[in-house]
Amino acid sequence: MKAKIVIFLIFAFGLLNAQNEGLINYYPDSYTVARENFRKKATEIQQQYPSAQFLTLKIPSKIDTDLTLDILYIPPKNKQRLIIISSGVHGVEGFTGSAIQLMIMDRYLNDTLLQNTGFLFLHALNPYGYKYLRRVTENNVDLNRNSTTIDTIYNIVNKGYAQIYDFINPTGEVNLHSCLHACFFLRALNVVRKNSIPVLRQAILQGQYQYPDGLYYGGKAPEPQIKMLTPILDTTIKPYKLVMEIDLHTGYGKRGMLHLFPNPLPKDKRTLVENVFQGYHIDWGDEKDFYTTTGDFIDYIGQIAHNKKYIPMTFEYGTMNSQTTIGSIKSLHIMIMENQGFHYGYKHRRDSIRVMHKFIEMYYPSSEKWKRQVMNETIQMFGRVIPRFVNYPLN
């Protein structure tokens, strides 16, 4: 009897490991591989569902003629509900976003679900940032501060940002042994002492439209992919009564944990989101330790779907415990060094290697444990959320 139990446990453990290894295989090692994987999967889905539509948008660039945003749309038989899943708004975060999109295509698309629910996958919204390992576009624009159908957003003045501009946007070559960076933690604590973490976080992360070389720059007009996407999204969304947008991100929050981050909503619209994501903690942006942004991609989709029932949600997979003061300061320092290095270069090659290693790890950890945890949390989340969405009343 004991022998049988041991054999069963070994079998179960082996099966679990095999499943985990399968999850790891979704992760690509480059933008090019991710795009190939997405296109291959899109072709398979088109063969299974002939009504599926695949579209490639070529994103203009001064340095690369092969940057694309790839779109897969699988319409249902009855156009009642639509789930939009986007990746790579912050380019370097696209590794995880692309992997999750493939996993969802494999595990959740089926005839029953596609009876009344359609899927729209937007792959690598910022292909330049993805391919060249930056968070921003070729124009140094943070796409998640740039996405809107309302042009007045680009006139917003973030007064708090101006007050700490010099602190977060140093000039000159990056030298990790300089006091500027070696003493960064102490300098940051002094800034925190004067302003507090929530105030500092809001000033920095809200977005700004005055400093083109600065962090979190939202641009002066919509980036090309936003201009190209608007009519496509408008046409696609129009027939549906209920729309949910899930934008996939990495970075902020407790390491390995899936955080839910919509921007604040009116009470009636908030109730819809809370019903679908019942049982999960939602950071609404009105808590003392959080921040709100302008030009969010999920809000942009909401502007297009303004007359629909709409569920906006950002999935944020934490990497550096940046919800804590120490983690937040470390994350900010890495962002500052990468931006400074891009614009002004590095004192030594080893400084460039160290900074880029830290930067990539902040958005795409090499840890297989982290990668598995992200996938498993997403599978658990979707296992509960999709049935609620599919059965949510339309009237």
Which pLDDT value is given to residue 100?
98
Residue 79 lies in a domain: yes
User: Is residue 386 in a domain?
Assistant: yes
| Residue 274, domain CATH | 3.40.630.10
Give the DSSP per-residue string, 190-241.
HHHHHH-HHHHHHHHHT-BSS-TTSTTB--SS--HHHHHHHHHHHHHHTT-S
Please check whether residue 141 is in contact with residue 312, taking contact to mean a CB–CB distance below 8 angstroms.
no
Residue 353 lies in a domain: no
Segments forming the whole domain that contains residue 377: 2-158+206-319+365-390
Looking at residue 71, its pLDDT comes to: 98
Question: 159, 160, 156, 73: which is closest to 118 by C-alpha?
Answer: 73
| CA within 13 Å, CB half, 174 | 25
**In-domain check, residue 139:** yes
- Give me the residues of the chain with pLDDT under 50, please: 1-18
pLDDT at residue 287, as a whole number: 58
Question: For residue 265, what pLDDT is reported?
Answer: 87
Does residue 254 lie within any of the structural domains? yes
pLDDT value, residue 318: 97
Answer yes or no: is 196 within a domain. Answer: no
Residues in the chain: 395
Instruction: Kindly state whether residue 193 falls inside one of the protein's structural domains.
Output: no
In total, how many domains does the chain have? 1
pLDDT number for residue 162: 85
Residue 339, domain member (yes or no): no
pLDDT at 294: 87
Strand order across the beta sheet in which 68-74 lies: 53-58, 68-74, 117-123, 81-86, 242-251, 309-318, 258-260
The predicted pLDDT at position 11 comes to 36
Cα–Cα–Cα angle for 177, 179, 183, rounded to 5 degrees: 100
